[in-house]
Amino acid sequence: MINYAVWNNKGGTGKTSLTFQAVTRFAEVNPNSRILVVDMCPQANLSELFLGGLSNDGSTKLLERQGLTPRCSIGGYFDSRLPSPFSPPVFDAWDYITNPSDYNIQIPKNIDLICGDPLLELQAIAMNTLANANLPGVNSWLGVIDWLNDLLSLVEDDFDYVFVDTNPSFSMYTQIALSSANRVILPVMADDSSRRAIQNAFSLIYGLKLPSEVYAQYTFATKMNSAGRELPKIHLILKNRLTQYMGKASAYAAVLSGIDQDLRGLIRSYPNHFTFKKIADGIVDVRDFGTTGVVAFARGCAFSTMPTGKLDIGGHRVQVKVEYRDQALEVIDDIVNKL
């Protein structure tokens, strides 16, 4: 089972929208593969998209799943772990799994979903306390960090791929997500803050280029290595929202070049942290989807199945041109081909 975490501790990089489109398309072109999506973001926007989007009551359907007993979401599963944080209780993993095609006919049937939940923010406080508990003979941090791994171990024969959408943070539940992953997909914007975000990602995941050695003993990498766990590798860098009509616009050229230069240096210095050796093998340029993206996400549908022409969105008529839809799908196919 290959597990991808889509992560950047910087917000606004398009993690959720790209995850939705890439996973849906990946499922379409790999109909014999079983795919599990885990929404590890308390905003749960990805879950709303899979369950129907704005126009098809995705939010209402999500609330319905969260209202079940047990709560059919990642928050519901974590609720079951709070009384038993360091050894998994007996539970049925499928109590927390939803097949979104039951709610949204536009989603391929080979995708299952663990819905996101705003409870994650409250649970994070308890997780931090439990992870820092000083108990004789117990690695409390590892006990908590393995919560998602414990669930996935029960369904590893049922799925070929797992995609985890994460929160733009490095909170405890984000570390739980990353610890379960083999590979990381890192969306970035064409700006200086995203260039810094790549450097920050290497500090947070791999403990590199820290401001002081004082921090070394506390890093995610140190704790994972001490437990004999492998760190996930960077598999893709998605340069998101380049200008729609100009591609790599000249205003962004210096920043994009700087990102490439930084990555080359990191690959040379730390090749074991990447699944690729050449920049071209690990980067996808993503142009701004514009109206096409807005309409697709409002309808909770993939670009490949989205109709074109004049469409009704929330009582407004919106024009979606065939060529723009096809351009958007071409970009998603570039991502899918590198998964």
Identify the band that residue 258 occupies on the pLDDT scale cut at 50, 70 and 90: confident
The pLDDT value recorded for residue 54 is 83
Tell me 84's DSSP state: S
CA dihedral 117, 195, 256, 292 (to 10 degrees): 20
Q: Which helix or strand (DSSP H or E) is residue 318 part of?
A: strand 316-320
Prior bond of 307 cis (ω within 30°)? no
Least confident of 13-17, 89-93, 272-276, 312-316: 312-316
Instruction: Please give the residue that has the higher pLDDT: either 235 or 314.
Output: 235
Domain 2-337 superfamily per CATH? P-loop containing nucleotide triphosphate hydrolases (3.40.50.300)
Mean pLDDT throughout 24-29?
Answer: 96
Contacts of 310 (CB under 8 A, 6+ apart): 317, 318, 319
The sign of the dihedral angle between the CA atoms of 8, 50, 93, 96 is positive
The pLDDT value recorded for residue 293 is 81
Given a cut of 70, is residue 46 above it in pLDDT?
yes
Instruction: Please give the residue that has the higher pLDDT: either 26 or 190.
Output: 26
Tens-digit pLDDT profile for residues 155-192: 999 999 999 999 888 999 999 999 999 999 998 876 65
The pLDDT value recorded for residue 244 is 44
Tell me whether residue 279 is exposed, middle or buried, using C-beta atoms within 10 angstroms of its C-beta: 0 to 12, 13 to 18, 19 or more: middle
Tens-digit pLDDT profile for residues 112-154: 999 999 999 999 999 999 999 988 888 999 999 999 999 999 9
Mean pLDDT throughout 43-47?
Answer: 95
Given a cut of 70, is residue 246 above it in pLDDT?
no
Taking alpha carbons only, the member of 298, 295, 289 closest to residue 330 is: 289
Mean pLDDT throughout 93-114?
Answer: 96
Identify the band that residue 63 occupies on the pLDDT scale cut at 50, 70 and 90: very high
Residue 56, phi then psi, degrees to nearest 5: -120, 30
Q: Which ranges of 72-191 would DSSP assign to H, the alpha helix? A: 74-81, 119-131, 140-145, 147-154, 172-179
Query: CA–CA separation, 99 vs 220, rounded Å?
Result: 33
Query: CA–CA separation, 258 vs 165, rounded Å?
Result: 27
The pLDDT value recorded for residue 175 is 95
Tens-digit pLDDT profile for residues 198-218: 778 888 899 887 666 766 777
Q: How many of the other CB atoms lie within 10 Å of CB of 102?
A: 11
Yes or no: say if 96 and 77 are a contact pair by the CB < 8 Å rule: yes
The number of CA neighbours under 13 Å toward the Cβ of 331 is 27
Q: How many of the other CB atoms lie within 10 Å of CB of 277?
A: 10
Tens-digit pLDDT profile for residues 268-303: 999 999 999 998 899 998 887 877 888 888 888 888
Q: Which helix or strand (DSSP H or E) is residue 50 part of?
A: helix 45-50
Average pLDDT, the chain: 88
The pLDDT value recorded for residue 64 is 96
**Which two tokens mark 334?**
């570039």
Q: How many of the other CB atoms lie within 10 Å of CB of 316?
A: 8
Taking alpha carbons only, the member of 43, 48, 51 closest to residue 167 is: 43
Identify the band that residue 261 occupies on the pLDDT scale cut at 50, 70 and 90: confident
The pLDDT value recorded for residue 147 is 97
Contacts of 76 (CB under 8 A, 6+ apart): 66, 68, 70, 95, 96, 117
Contacts of 214 (CB under 8 A, 6+ apart): none
Taking alpha carbons only, the member of 61, 63, 68, 117 closest to residue 95 is: 68
- DSSP string covering 161-210, please? EEEEEE-SS--HHHHHHHHT-SEEEEEEESSHHHHHHHHHHHHHHH--S-
The pLDDT value recorded for residue 301 is 87
